[in-house]
Amino acid sequence: MFDTLQDRLAATFKGLRGKGRLTDADIDATARQIRIALLEADVNLGVVKEFVAAVKQRCRGEELSKALNPTQQIVKIVNEELVGILGGDTRTVRFAKNPPTVIMLAGLQGAGKTTLAGKLARWFKDEGHSPMLAACDLQRPNAVTQLQVVGERAGVKVFAPQPGNGVGDPVAVARESVEEARRKLYDVVIIDTAGRLGVDAELMQQAADIKAATSPAETLFVVDAMIGQDAVNTAVAFQEGVGFDGVVLTKLDGDARGGAALSIARVVGRPIMFASSGEGLKDFDVFHPDRMASRILDMGDMLTLIEQAEKAFDKEQSQAAAEKLLAGKGQFGLDDFLGLMRQMRQMGPMSKIMGMLPGVGQMKNQISDIDEREVDRIEAIILSMTPAERADVGILNGSRRSRIAKGSGVEVRDVNNLVNRFVDARKMMTQMSQGMGGGMVGSMAKHGAKQQRKKQQKRRKGASGNPAKRAAQEKAGTSRKPAETGNPFGTPAAGLPTSQEDLSKAMADFRMPPGMEQMFNQKNKGPR
């Protein structure tokens, strides 16, 4: 959604590289390009004027003149202002003091409220809560049935006493759903309300009546991020007619220009709390303004990537694979690669994962060429090999490759292509792990190896209770030091940045190494 804006901003900053000092003319030209980029992204005009004015004011102040690298400082200023217009700090759900916590969803028809209700319920369930969905959209045809299907997929209870399709009182259903949650001990109630094709008095009154009857802890306005400035106008109308506490953006995976996301929080004065980017129940997460700004500026979203990886990856299996990568000498085999690939699939589509890495703006075409079905073909080829062949691809002669191709239903050239790309990717991953401190994978291996060495070393004496002896021990280095701690990804023990600001600084000049896309890019197919 933000590709156009990302490209324009990247081109703007690229023209500033190499300049040790920026003149007023440089600042004016940069501000003009940023203004054009935001307007082309369909950002609200008032927000654009405010944003550009703030950037120019800060660039002309002491903040830029004292910077060692003025160009990087401008990127930092733009990043901080983007975070500001996106809402500032991450806003979390406020829970009621006495359960259940009632969350009311409001918005126009077609914004995706019913699907979002299921995603939100699934998210609460994963967070350890016991949510219940309330079917209060009794006007749209089959809305109740759709919510029941979504609720079944999410594995949550759906309260639907009325059949809908124009039958039933939505206010009464909402009131009864809260009472039902108290009786059955559900701690969260998510109310799915009716929408309209446009804002009208009946819609506003019904939403206001449901809100008055249930006193929700959070009223969330659900908006389609693809409808542009009309999303802002609708949000303003709902804020004046009903009032809401936060915004949920849906369809962020669309190809619209994304101006609504950059405008709505500043215009209505309410934070964006959640974002939905697909049809799957897991395509949903808390909205982090700082991470979104970082992605727009092509600095990646490593914190989200690490969080998702921590949920999907098995610690022991990942650490063993990382140690083999660092050891080199071909110890990392196809079995290890298949295990990691299966865990990566749990994080989502490969293109989405790659999109969170810093510097991917220069690789949009390669990422768009990634064929998700290629992962299935790779798995079929690997599973058609014997354990010895997976451990050492060097023994794959012509007859073996022919047998593997027949067993997996592919051509011999596909087997050759996989082997060639695997060898190249293994070499590149090994170099990255060794040359860049290991990143996430290398941190796991280093941390594991360090703990192993500690076990093998002779146990040192404990620190003495006598101050004089303890000082002598510390000077001689014989006292036992506390063991280092860290999670599977080596943070913070391995020295990785723990905040988005640190990541932004560390990744400002990072660019993707060549060949990263080779493993899944269809354009590289063919024997060598």
- Full DSSP string of 181-242: HHHHT-SEEEEE----SS--HHHHHHHHHHHHHH--SEEEEEEEGGGTHHHHHHHHHHHHHT
Does 193 carry a binding-site annotation? yes
Kindly state the helix (H) or strand (E) to which residue 105 belongs, with its residue range: strand 101-106
Does 192 carry a binding-site annotation? yes
- Closest by CA to 133, choosing from 96, 161, 95, 98, is 161
**CA pair distance 54, 215, nearest whole angstrom:** 39
Does 301 carry a binding-site annotation? no
Query: CB atoms < 10 A from the CB of 68, how many?
Result: 7
**CA pair distance 29, 15, nearest whole angstrom:** 10
Does 253 carry a binding-site annotation? yes
Question: What is the C-alpha R_g of the chain?
Answer: 27
Does 448 carry a binding-site annotation? no
**CA pair distance 357, 514, nearest whole angstrom:** 14
Does 112 carry a binding-site annotation? yes
DSSP code, position 246: E
Does 450 carry a binding-site annotation? no
Does 462 carry a binding-site annotation? no
The structure tokens 């160009």 sit at 71
**CA pair distance 399, 223, nearest whole angstrom:** 58
Does 57 carry a binding-site annotation? no
Query: CB atoms < 10 A from the CB of 273, how many?
Result: 21
**CA pair distance 246, 183, nearest whole angstrom:** 28
Does 254 carry a binding-site annotation? no
Does 266 carry a binding-site annotation? no
CB 493 within 8 A of CB 486: yes
Does 109 carry a binding-site annotation? yes
Does 219 carry a binding-site annotation? no
Does 407 carry a binding-site annotation? no
**CA pair distance 469, 81, nearest whole angstrom:** 56
- Closest by CA to 78, choosing from 35, 22, 42, is 35
The region, left, alpha or beta by phi > 0 then psi within -120 to 50, assigned to residue 14 is alpha
Does 68 carry a binding-site annotation? no
Where is the binding site, in residues?
Answer: 107-114, 192-196, 250-253
Where is the binding site for GTP, in residues?
Answer: 107-114, 192-196, 250-253
